[in-house]
Structure 1
Amino acid sequence: MGDDNNWLWSNKETIPSDTAEGQRLIKELLTQLELAEWAMHDSFGIHLAAEEAIVNAIKHGNKQDPNKSVEVDIRIGKERVMIHITDEGPGFKPDNVPDPTLDENLDVPSGRGVMLIKAYMTEVSYNEKGNSVKMVKNRSK
């Protein structure tokens, strides 16, 4: 599958490190998922994963630095959704994040986002630096 996936809607924009801007994008994403007739349970997962990734980019990646921005590229098709989020932070190694399901990590707040994203999306990949995540969700059959 190429990127000429007959996207019904796509939006690529660079937002400041401000969670209100992130929320605005999430709202738009949800509206477009509804218009594209995505099922509630799929939309729910996409919503959680997108929110988690955007908030992580703003808070952890850019440390809420107003001089840094987050690039968000969202595409919605009939059969799949692609979300690509890049921040200007130093990046991280997803494999080094503690597993939040292990008993010793139940009180550790980090790691849940990464796990949520993996749980709800069909494919998740990070760039080598770890400051960019690409997520794909295939429509449930």
Structure 2
Amino acid sequence: MGLVQKTDIPTDMKAARELAEQIVTQAEDCGYSAEVVFAIKLALEEALMNAIKHGNRRDPDKHVHVEYSVDSKRAEIRIVDQGEGFDPTNVPDPTADENLECPTGRGIMLMRAYMDHVEFSEQGNTVRMIKNNG
């Protein structure tokens, strides 16, 4: 694993998008394919949006802590919000018939679909994602 970089961003989607671009640029610089870069960007934006919207409830006095490492073999990202947490097993299945027309609720499903490994802390305010290059 490469050098672990740590940063705190405000509870703000503009800051989240800027950080996502920095991480994606590192993946591109390490030779990740466009398909893998897309997967990282999508999952990362979803995770950051969840931390801001659901974890921190858009509270401008809170921040999101991000630790990440990108090298030629894999990208690993850890996102921690200041919310109370949640139980990911209680998130409704977005593919269930009763949820198909709901405009939200697909973030965790997308993160799991596009990353090689996704895990949540027991408290539910931390997500760790890994994407292998190749």
TM bracket (short chain): over 0.9
* 1:55 corresponds to 2:81: no
Q: Distance in 2 between matches of 1:85 and 1:24?
A: 15
Please, which of 70, 86, 97 is the counterpart of residue 76 of structure 1?
70
Deviations 1:69-109, CA, capped at 9 Å, x for gaps: 10011110111110000000011111111111111111223
Which residue in the other structure is 2:17 paired with?
23
Give runs of ≥4 in structure 1 deviating > 6 Å: none
When the two chains are superposed, the root-mean-square deviation of aligned CA atoms in Å is 1.1
The TM-score, its normalising length taken from structure 1, stands at 0.91
Give the Å deviation of 1:110: 3.7
Which residue in the other structure is 2:107 paired with?
113
Which residue in the other structure is 2:33 paired with?
39
* 1:13 corresponds to 2:7: yes
Count of aligned positions: 134
Which residue in the other structure is 1:65 paired with?
59
* 1:135 corresponds to 2:129: yes
The TM-score, its normalising length taken from structure 2, stands at 0.95
Give the Å deviation of 1:10: 4.0
User: What percentage of aligned pairs have identical amino acids?
Assistant: 46
Structure 1 unaligned spans of 5+:
none
Q: Distance in 2 between matches of 1:93 and 1:110?
A: 17
